[in-house]
Structure formats: structure tokens, C-alpha cells
């Protein structure tokens, strides 16, 4: 491609980070920011030690404790010995290799994809990686951000670069404006429902259109977060004034003249008008309704005013089979109204929906039910994404609203999103969850997950079932 031809944002990010494209080798890209946590880093550090290699740019790496930690106590061993081992190993590794760590109870601690943005570590025009597939979250800022494996974590440690083959590009345009009460979670679930859970494998996706531009940074993060759930390598949203305003003044963001120069550069990142994408998908925002998943992958999703589908609804044999298996695992009968499905657990949290706006939205729904409490047979927990979110929520009195209504107000962490700590579902539990994966066993062996927005999760806690809040 010559330099003057129109480019997509992905191509610009790629070009700006291309260290070398040697013949016969996978292109080498520069990595600006590396986020690490306790679960996917220990073996990478072990290999560095084995080869006697340093971390090349410890200042470009930030560590947090999130996956494994207890949400009831800040004690390092509160979630068991296995977890404590990994957490201690992270602390030792960070100390030995000179990496800044937000450890248990630190004011900046939280889920990697929540703290990166809120601390100003996540910047447009950068490449951000983390040994976690929801790294795509940071694409909300116009950063090329994606999850990597432990061998790649080691490669980034040692070289501050990564080898990546170029992905194809997909544009997803959401035209017009969403109706009242429709959240960012509903938008992304509707997109995945349309593409299927592998619809963007091999692509980097750019979200655009009026409905996307209208989103706040928190909402954009919810959208980009779930890019991996339809197979995309990364998700991007062009940075604009909303983005710059969010970043300005954050703890780690550039200041003064450097910030001004950065904004000037960031304004050039957006895809050129005539840029050509390998695939284009369009949705009408006004058609998007509140979404609830019924199956065992995020593509198995339907509007809350719909019914559980039947295998007969699918012509593709693989999808038909998946539907049969999913209905069996989820213990659902085709034709059941989504609003008739009863839950006994509610989880509001995860890097998809644990930011301050998510908690405000959930609290708003709780308040609408004036004085009603979480129904007797439901356990509902709220897990803020970070200590900063927790503190902000408490300063606004949101914790009181939740606690008064019978929710448990927990300490930050990944928690029941993956259940590596003791926040796990029991066999047969049915959970309304604001997380991002409804895979078999994800939240606990034999447990059933329905992915929803924070608003829907709050309503399900109070009523015991899914509710069409906009009816």
C-alpha cells in the first residue's frame, strides 16, 4: 500500500507501530503498554529468569491483582493457597523486575481493563496488550488492544515488541439513535447476535455510526470489551472530544504541551473517508431492544420480549446442534418467554460492566422499584471494577442503595466473571450476569449464565426474573 491511499484506523495504528517487516518473518510491532496480572504472567517471568533476560521497559508495564482475589477481604490468602501463591509470585516478580504493582488494597488496584483507562494509562494511538482476551476494551480509546498468551507476554517483557500477522478489517456501523433505556451492553449483544460468536474471527473491528459516537467512554468500553466474543482480534472506536476530555488530567496521562501534541496526533487517527474495509455490517439502532442470552455462547442471544428459540429456527446444522446442546445445558424449553425465566443469582461486575456508570444505572433501576428488595430466593452481589470505582460509588451513596435493597456490596476484582476465587455458582444455579461469557461451566460447573446489562441484572434481582423495562 502506498502512503497516500486512504487508510482505516487499524492500518494507521499498524503503520505507526511497525518496527520491521523483514522478508519471510511475521511483522514486528512496537508495544506501548503492557498490563499484567497474577494468572498469565508467572511462567513468562520464569522463562526470563531461566534465560537471564531483563524486562526491557519495566516502566511500560503495569501490574494489578484482579483475577484470583477475594472480594470479601484484602488478605492475600483469603481466596485460598493456590491464589495466594500466584499473588505472592506476582509481588516478587514485580519487585525483582522493577514493575509497578497495584497490590491488595492499593488505591489504584482493580481489574486491568478498568484501571488502565481510569488512570490514564490507556491512550489513543497506542498498542496495548495483556494476557487476557478482554484487552480489546481499551480499543474504546482508539488504541489497538488485544489479548495475548503467556509466550507473548514473555516476548513483550524481553523486547517490548510482538510479532503479529495483519488482520482483516470490518466496519460495524450502528445507524441512528438507540431508544430510551437501551444500554451499550444491549448494543454489543445485538451485534454479536447478528454476526454469531465467530463472525469476526480474523478481523479487527471498528465500531462507528451515530449510536456509537453518542456513547460515553464507559459505554464505549462495554462495546469494545466484547469484541472477542464474536472472534474479533480487537475492537476500535475513533477517538474524539469525548475521549480527549476523559483522558485529560488522569493520573498517568500526558500533561501540558505533550497532551496538546498528543491530541493533535490523535485527531488524525480516524479512518479516512474512502478507506476500504474487508467487511461491513450495518445495524439500525432503533431496532435494538434489551438483550438476554439464552444459550452457551454470546451469539445465542435474543430480545427480552422474545422467546427461547427452537432448534428448528436454525437452518445451519452446526447452529442447530449448538442450540440443542445449549437448551439441554441451560435447562430451557423452546418457546418459553424470556421474561418467564427465573434466576436465583445475580452478578453485577466484570470488566464489561463494573464502572461507575454501570453502577449508577443499576442503582437507578433499584430506586425505580421504590423500597422493594432483592427477592428471597435470589443472592445478588455487586463487585465494583476497581477501588476508585468503589470509592466514587460510595461517595455518591450507591452502596447504600444496594445494601438497603438486599444486595451484597463487595470489594473489587474479577470475581464471578470467571470464579477463580470463592465467588462461584453452584451446579444448577441460574445467574443474571453483567459479565461477558456464558460458556458452559464458566461461572461454576453445571451453572447457567444469562448475559445482560446492569439495568436488567438489577431488575432480575428485585423481581426474580428478566423484565422488559421498556415495555
Decide which of ligand SF4, other proteins, none touches 126; Cβ closer than 5 to 8 Å per partner kind.
other proteins
Query: What end-to-end distance do the CA atoms of the chain give, in Å?
Result: 51
Q: Does 350 bind ligand SF4 (CB under 6 A)?
A: yes
35-74 footprint of other proteins as x/- string (CB under 8 A)? ----xx-xx--xx---x-x--------------x------
Site for ligand SF4 in 293-322 (CB under 6 A): none
Site for ligand SF4 in 37-76 (CB under 6 A): 66-67
Decide which of other proteins, ligand SF4, none touches 310; Cβ closer than 5 to 8 Å per partner kind.
none
Q: Does 97 bind other proteins (CB under 8 A)?
A: no
Beta bridge partners of 303: 291
* Shortest CB 417 distance to ligand SF4, Å: 3
* Shortest CB 32 distance to ligand SF4, Å: 20
Helix (H) or strand (E) run with residue 30 in it: strand 28-30
- Whose CA is closest to 158, among 16, 349, 28? 28
Q: Does 200 bind ligand SF4 (CB under 6 A)?
A: no
C-alpha cell at 291: 438483550
Decide which of other proteins, ligand SF4, none touches 351; Cβ closer than 5 to 8 Å per partner kind.
ligand SF4
Site for other proteins in 332-361 (CB under 8 A): none
Q: Please select the residue that binds ligand SF4; options are 99, 351, 359, 405, rule is CB under 6 A.
A: 351
**Residues contacting 5, CB < 8 A, separation 6+:** none
CA-to-CA dists, residue 442 to 12, 39, 416, 437, angstroms = 36, 16, 9, 7
Number of residues that bind other proteins (CB under 8 A): 72
Strands laid side by side in the 161-163 sheet: 18-20, 28-30, 161-163
Q: Coil, helix or strand for 103?
A: coil
Q: Using H for helix, E for strand and C for coil, what is the string for 124-151?
A: CCCEEEECCHHHHHHHHHCCEEEECCHH
Site for other proteins in 143-162 (CB under 8 A): 146-152, 154-155, 158-161
Decide which of ligand SF4, other proteins, none touches 214; Cβ closer than 5 to 8 Å per partner kind.
none
Residue 406 burial class via C-beta count within 10 angstroms: exposed 0-12, middle 13-18, buried 19 and up: middle
Whether the CB-CB separation of 15 and 127 falls below 8 Å is answered with no
Decide which of other proteins, ligand SF4, none touches 160; Cβ closer than 5 to 8 Å per partner kind.
other proteins
- Whose CA is closest to 411, among 364, 453, 349? 349
Helices and strands: H and E segment counts in the chain:
15, 19
Site for other proteins in 250-309 (CB under 8 A): 254, 258-259, 261-262, 265, 297
User: Which residue's CB is nearer to ligand SF4, number 39 or number 341?
Assistant: 39
Q: Does 180 bind other proteins (CB under 8 A)?
A: no
Site for ligand SF4 in 422-441 (CB under 6 A): 435-436
Q: How many CA atoms are closer than 13 Å to the CA of 315, on its beta-carbon side? A: 0
- Backbone phi and psi for residue 64, each to the nearest 5 degrees, phi listed first: -140, 155
State the alpha helices, DSSP H only, in 182-268: 184-195, 210-213, 217-225, 241-247, 256-266
Strands 18-20 and 28-30: antiparallel
Q: Count of CB atoms within 10 A of residue 22's CB? A: 9
Q: Please select the residue that binds other proteins; options are 26, 282, 333, 342, rule is CB under 8 A.
A: 26
User: Which residue's CB is nearer to other proteins, number 152 or number 455?
Assistant: 152
Decide which of ligand SF4, other proteins, none touches 350; Cβ closer than 5 to 8 Å per partner kind.
ligand SF4
Q: Does 132 bind other proteins (CB under 8 A)?
A: yes
Q: Please select the residue that binds ligand SF4; options are 418, 431, 432, 451, rule is CB under 6 A.
A: 418
- Backbone phi and psi for residue 223, each to the nearest 5 degrees, phi listed first: -65, -55
* Shortest CB 222 distance to ligand SF4, Å: 12
Site for ligand SF4 in 93-152 (CB under 6 A): 111, 113, 132, 134
Residue range at the interface with ligand SF4 (CB under 6 A); choices 91-99, 260-268, 278-286, 413-421: 413-421
* Shortest CB 356 distance to other proteins, Å: 26
C-alpha cell at 160: 517490548
* Binding region for ligand SF4 (CB under 6 A): 66-67, 111, 113, 132, 134, 350-351, 414, 417-418, 435-436
Amino acid at each position: 500500500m502506498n502512503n497516500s491511499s486512504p487508510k482505516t484506523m487499524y492500518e494507521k495504528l499498524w503503520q505507526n507501530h511497525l518496527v520491521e517487516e523483514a522478508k519471510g518473518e511475521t511483522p514486528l510491532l512496537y508495544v506501548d503498554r503492557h498490563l499484567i496480572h497474577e494468572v498469565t504472567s508467572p511462567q513468562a517471568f520464569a522463562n526470563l529468569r531461566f534465560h537471564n533476560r531483563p524486562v526491557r521497559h519495566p516502566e511500560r508495564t503495569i501490574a494489578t491483582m484482579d483475577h484470583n482475589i477475594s472480594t470479601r477481604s484484602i488478605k492475600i490468602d483469603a481466596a485460598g493457597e493456590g491464589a495466594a501463591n500466584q499473588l505472592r509470585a506476582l509481588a516478587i516478580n514485580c519487585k525483582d523486575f522493577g514493575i509497578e504493582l497495584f497490590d491488595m488494597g492499593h488505591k489504584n488496584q482493580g481489574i486491568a481493563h478498568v484501571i488502565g483507562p481510569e488512570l490514564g494509562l490507556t491512550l489513543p494511538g497506542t498498542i496495548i496488550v495483556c494476557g487476557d482476551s478482554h484487552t480489546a476494551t481499551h480499543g474504546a480509546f482508539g488504541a489497538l488492544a488485544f489479548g495475548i498468551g503467556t509466550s507473548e507476554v514473555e516476548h513483550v517483557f524481553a523486547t517490548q515488541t510482538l510479532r503479529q500477522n495483519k488482520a482483516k478489517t470490518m466496519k460495524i456501523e450502528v445507524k441512528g439513535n438507540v431508544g430510551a433505556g437501551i444500554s451499550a451492553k444491549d448494543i454489543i449483544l445485538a451485534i454479536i447476535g447478528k454476526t454469531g460468536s465467530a463472525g469476526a474471527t480474523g478481523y479487527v473491528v471498528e465500531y462507528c455510526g451515530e449510536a456509537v459516537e453518542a456513547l460515553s467512554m464507559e459505554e464505549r468500553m462495554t462495546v469494545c470489551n466484547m469484541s472477542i466474543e464474536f472472534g474479533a482480534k480487537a475492537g476500535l472506536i475513533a477517538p474524539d472530544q469525548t475521549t480527549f476530555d476523559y483522558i485529560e488530567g488522569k493520573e498517568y496521562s500526558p500533561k501540558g504541551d505533550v497532551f496538546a501534541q498528543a491530541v493533535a496526533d490523535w485527531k488524525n487517527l480516524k479512518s479516512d473517508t474512502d478507506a476500504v474495509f474487508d467487511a461491513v455490517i450495518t445495524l439500525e439502532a432503533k431496532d435494538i431492544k434489551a438483550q438476554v442470552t439464552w444459550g452457551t455462547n454470546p451469539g445465542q442471544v435474543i430480545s427480552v420480549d422474545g422467546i427461547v428459540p427452537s432448534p428448528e429456527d436454525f437452518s445451519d446444522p452446526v447452529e442447530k446442534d449448538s442450540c440443542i446442546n445449549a437448551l439441554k445445558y441451560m435447562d430451557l424449553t423452546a418457546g418459553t418467554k424470556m421474561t418467564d425465566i427465573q434466576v436465583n443469582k445475580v452478578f453485577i461486575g466484570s470488566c464489561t460492566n463494573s464502572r461507575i456508570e454501570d453502577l449508577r444505572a443499576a442503582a437507578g433501576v433499584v430506586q425505580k422499584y421504590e423500597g422493594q428488595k432483592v427477592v428471597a430466593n435470589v443472592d445478588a452481589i455487586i463487585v465494583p471494577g476497581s477501588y476508585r470505582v468503589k470509592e466514587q460509588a460510595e461517595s455518591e451513596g450507591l452502596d447504600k442503595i444496594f445494601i438497603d435493597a438486599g444486595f451484597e456490596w463487595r470489594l473489587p476484582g474479577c470475581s464471578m466473571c470467571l470464579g477463580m476465587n470463592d465467588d462461584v455458582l453452584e451446579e444448577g444455579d441460574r445467574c443474571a450476569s453483567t459479565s461477558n461469557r456464558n460458556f458452559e461451566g464458566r461461572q461454576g460447573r453445571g451453572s447457567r449464565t444469562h448475559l445482560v446489562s446492569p439495568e436488567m441484572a438489577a431488575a432480575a434481582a428485585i423481581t426474580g426474573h428478566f423484565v422488559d423495562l421498556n415495555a
